[in-house]
């Protein structure tokens, strides 16, 4: 069995959510590690879960600052990132913007709506997010198998495939047609595989 298959088989995905963030400067979004907030109103019967966060910047730019690292990472249109479970970080329009909201608020909003707008009305940035819940028992193996951050720049060949898959996933989540839950599971696996391959 190849290493990517090992990782995917180890992951126990129990839910997924897609949401488009429309942010205008100044704005800041904070993600706290060790989150156990469910992505739906129903708690999964298998136990506590955590999530990985995948994002694609489709317009504008922003900065990603991971806790424990000295310098933020600049992100532009077409860039994709995958944050492993339990990683604390902040996304913002500049490296100096004070925290204004949290990913937990975004999750609560995403339960009922697929677009979330934040910020002060300045320069705009659009980010499509995919949040993937994992059974808590899978978090430790994942933390050993995955780096804290996987970054795919816009000029890398896999970005087009990632963008197409994110759009498909967003359509399945918002439409919820017959078979949508199975489609979401398969597309989630495909997204994670493409990010790890990159």
Q: Is 30:90 a contact under the CB 8 Å cutoff?
A: yes
CATH number of 60's domain: 2.60.120.280
Look over the chain and give the mean of its residue pLDDT values, rounded to a whole number: 77
Long-range CB pairs of 157-160, under 8 A, 24+ apart, other chains included: 158/194, 158/197, 158/198, 159/78, 159/79, 159/80
Domain assignment of residue 71, given as a range: 3-197
Q: Give how many domains the chain has, as a whole number.
A: 1
Which pLDDT does position 48 carry in this prediction? 35
Which pLDDT does position 95 carry in this prediction? 93
* DSSP assigned state of 20: E
Q: Is 11:35 a contact under the CB 8 Å cutoff?
A: no
| Most confident option among 21-25, 43-47, 136-140, 191-195 | 21-25
Mean pLDDT value of segment 13-33: 84
């Amino acid at each position: 069995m190849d290493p990517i298959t090992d990782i995917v088989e180890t992951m126990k995905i129990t839910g997924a959510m897609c949401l488009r963030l429309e942010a205008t400067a100044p704005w800041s979004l904070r993600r706290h590690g060790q989150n156990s907030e469910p992505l739906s109103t129903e708690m999964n019967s298998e136990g506590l879960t955590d999530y990985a966060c995948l994002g694609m910047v489709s317009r504008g730019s922003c900065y990603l600052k991971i806790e424990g690292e000295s310098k933020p990472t600049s992100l532009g249109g077409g860039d994709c990132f995958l944050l492993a479970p339990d990683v604390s970080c902040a996304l913002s329009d500049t490296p100096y913007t004070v925290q204004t909201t949290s990913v937990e608020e975004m999750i609560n909003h995403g339960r009922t709506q697929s677009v979330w707008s934040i910020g002060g009305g300045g320069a705009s940035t659009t980010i499509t997010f995919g949040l993937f819940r994992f059974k808590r028992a899978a978090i430790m193996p994942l933390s050993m198998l995955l780096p804290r951050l996987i970054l795919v720049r816009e000029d890398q060949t896999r970005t087009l495939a990632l963008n197409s898959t994110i759009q498909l996933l967003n359509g399945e989540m918002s439409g919820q047609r017959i078979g949508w839950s199975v489609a979401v599971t398969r597309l989630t696996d495909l997204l994670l595989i493409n990010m790890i391959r990159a």
